[in-house]
Amino acid sequence: MKNPESPPRLALRLLERFGGGRGEDYGTAGDFVEYYRALAAERGIRAARRECRRQVRAAFPGYLKNSIAGSSAMLKHFFLIAIRNLRKHKGLSFINIAGLAVGLACSILIFLWVRDERSIDGFHANGKAIYRLIQEVKYSGREMSVAVTQGALGPSLQRDVPEIVGSCRLARAEMKFAAGERWFTESVRLADASFFEMFTFPLRQGDPTSALVDPYSIVLSEETARKYFPDGDAFGKTLHADKNVDFRVTGVMKTPPRNSILRADAFLPFVFGRELGLPVDAWDDSRFTTLVQLEKDARLASVAAKISGYLKGKPIVEKDAALSLQPLRDIYLHPGLAGEQFVLGDIRAVRIFSLAALFILLIACANFMNLATASSAHRAREVGLRKVCGAGRGRLMGQFYAESFVLTALSLGAAIVLAGILLPPFNKIAAKELSFGLFAVPGNFLALAELLLLTAFLAGSYPALFLSRFQPSRVLKGDLSLGTRGRILRRILFVSQFSLAVLLLICTICVRNQVVFMRNFQTGWDKEQIVTTVMGEEMRGRFEAVREELLRNPDILGVAAASSLPTRGYLYTNALWDWPGKNPREEIVMRGTCADVGYFPLLGMEIIRGRDFVEAEEANTNIQWIINEEAARIMDFSDPVGQPLTQAGEFKGTIVGVVKDYHFTGLKERIDPLVVGYSPYLSQILFTKIRPGKAPGAIKALESAWKKFAPRDEFKYSFLTEAADALYRSEERIEGVLVAFSILSVIVACLGLFGLAAFLAEKRTKEIGIRKALGASTAKIVFLFSREFIWDVAAANAVAWPAAYFFAREWLRDYAYRITLGPGPFLLAAALTLSIALATAGHRFIRAAGIPPAKTLKYE
Partner 1 sequence: MKLLSRMEEIILISIWRLGQNAYGLTIREEVGKATGEELPLGAVYPYLSRLHQAGYVRTVTSRSAPERGGRHKILYHLTDTGREALAEVQRVSKRTWDGISPLVFKKSS
> Given the rule CB under 8 A, which residues bind partner 1?
5-6, 15, 19-21, 24-35, 37, 52, 55-59, 62-63, 66
H or E, element range at 390: none
Q: Where are the alpha helices (DSSP H) in 270-309?
A: 300-308
> Quick one: 15 or 179, whose CB is closer to partner 1?
15
CB of 41 to partner 1, least distance (A): 10
Closer of 58 and 773 to partner 1 (Cβ): 58
| Residue number with CB closer to partner 1 (125 or 619) | 125
What is each CA distance from 612 to 49, 302, 686, in whole angstroms? 66, 54, 18
CB of 757 to partner 1, least distance (A): 48
Q: Is the Cβ of residue 70 or residue 162 nearer to partner 1 in the bound state? A: 70
Question: Which lies closer to partner 1 via its Cβ, residue 12 or residue 211?
Answer: 12
In contact, 132 and 170? CB cutoff 8 Å? no
Shortest Cβ 453–partner 1 spacing (Å): 17
Helix/strand/coil for 148: coil
By C-beta, is 17 or 46 nearer to partner 1? Answer: 17
Tell me the C-alpha to C-alpha distance, in Å, between residue 562 and each of 603, 609, 685. Answer: 11, 20, 5
User: Which of 860, 759, 840 is CA-nearest to residue 793?
Assistant: 840
How far apart, in Å, do the first and last CA atoms of the chain sit? 59
**Checking DSSP bridges between strand 266-269 and strand 184-191, what pairing results, if any?**
parallel
Write the DSSP symbol of residue 713.
S
Nearer to partner 1, 65 or 707 (CB): 65
Distance, in Å, from the CA atom of 619 to the CA atom of 651, rounded to the nearest integer, reads: 9
CB of 9 to partner 1, least distance (A): 12
Q: Which of 840, 27, 144, 4 is closest to 501 using CA atoms?
A: 840
Toward partner 1, which CB reaches closer, 19 or 610? 19
User: C-beta of 205: minimal distance to partner 1 in Å?
Assistant: 17
Choice between 39 and 372, CB closer to partner 1: 39
Shortest separation between residue 4's beta carbon and partner 1, angstroms: 12
Q: H-helix or E-strand containing 594?
A: strand 590-595
Q: How far is the CB of 26 from partner 1 (least distance, A)?
A: 5
Closer residue to partner 1 (CB): 29 or 454: 29
Minimum Å distance from CB 60 to partner 1? 8
For residue 338, give the DSSP letter. B
Q: How far apart are CA 848 and CA 860, in angstroms?
A: 18
Q: Cβ of residue 3: shortest distance to partner 1, in angstroms?
A: 10
Do you know the residue count of the chain? 860
In sequence order, what are the residues at sequence separation of 6 or more whose Cβ sits closer than 8 angstroms to the Cβ of residue 241? 175, 176, 177, 178, 247
Residue (66 or 210) nearer to partner 1, CB: 66
Q: Closest approach of Cβ 662 to partner 1, in Å?
A: 59
Enumerate the β-bridge partners of residue 609: 658
Q: How far is the CB of 68 from partner 1 (least distance, A)?
A: 12
- Alpha carbons within 13 angstroms on the beta-carbon side of residue 622 total 7
Residue 220: DSSP 8-state: E
Task: Tell me phi and psi for residue 115, to 5 degrees.
Answer: -50, -45
Q: Compute how many other C-beta atoms are within 10 angstroms of the C-beta atom of residue 785.
A: 23
Decide whether 22 or 585 has the Cβ nearer to partner 1. 22
d(CA 354, CA 119): 16
Query: Residue 59 CB, nearest distance to partner 1 (Å)?
Result: 4
Shorter beta-carbon distance to partner 1: residue 55 or 718 = 55
Nearer to partner 1, 25 or 479 (CB): 25
Give the pairing of strands 164-178 and 238-241: antiparallel
- Closest to partner 1 by CB, 34 vs 281, is 34
Instruction: Provide the minimum distance between the beta carbon of 50 and partner 1 in the complex, in angstroms, as a whole number.
Output: 13
Report the SS3 class of residue 652: strand
Query: Could you give the C-alpha distances from 326 to 31, 262, 263, 289, 330, in angstroms and in order?
Result: 37, 15, 19, 12, 7
CB of 5 to partner 1, least distance (A): 7
**Exposed, middle or buried, 212 (CB in 10 Å: 0-12/13-18/19+)?**
buried
Task: Name the minimum Å distance from CB 531 to partner 1.
Answer: 54
If the CB atoms of residues 20 and 335 are measured against partner 1, the closer one turns out to be: 20
Q: DSSP string covering 345-356, please?
A: --HHHHHHHHHH
**Toward partner 1, which CB reaches closer, 28 or 326?**
28
Q: How far apart are CA 681 and CA 687, in angstroms?
A: 15
Helix, strand, coil percentages in the chain from 3-state DSSP, rounded to 5: 55, 15, 30
φ/ψ of residue 236, rounded to 5: 85, -10
Cα separation, 703 vs 688, whole angstroms: 12
Nearest approach, Cβ of residue 795 and partner 1 (Å): 46
Task: Outline where 595-638 has alpha helix (H).
Answer: 599-602, 629-635
- How far apart are CB 438 and partner 1 at their closest, in Å? 22
Q: Which helix (H) or strand (E) holds 253?
A: strand 245-253
How large is the C-alpha radius of gyration of the chain?
34
- Spatial separation of the C-alpha atoms in residues 793 and 780, rounded to whole Å: 20
> CA dist 417 to 101, 102, 108, 423, 456, Å?
9, 10, 11, 10, 19
The single-letter code of the amino acid at 284 is D
- The answer to whether residues 264 and 187 touch, using CB atoms and an 8 Å cutoff, is yes
Smallest separation, CB 445 to partner 1 (Å) = 16
Q: Which is nearer to partner 1, 27 or 644 (CB)?
A: 27
Rounded to whole angstroms, the Cα distance separating 738 from 730 reads: 12
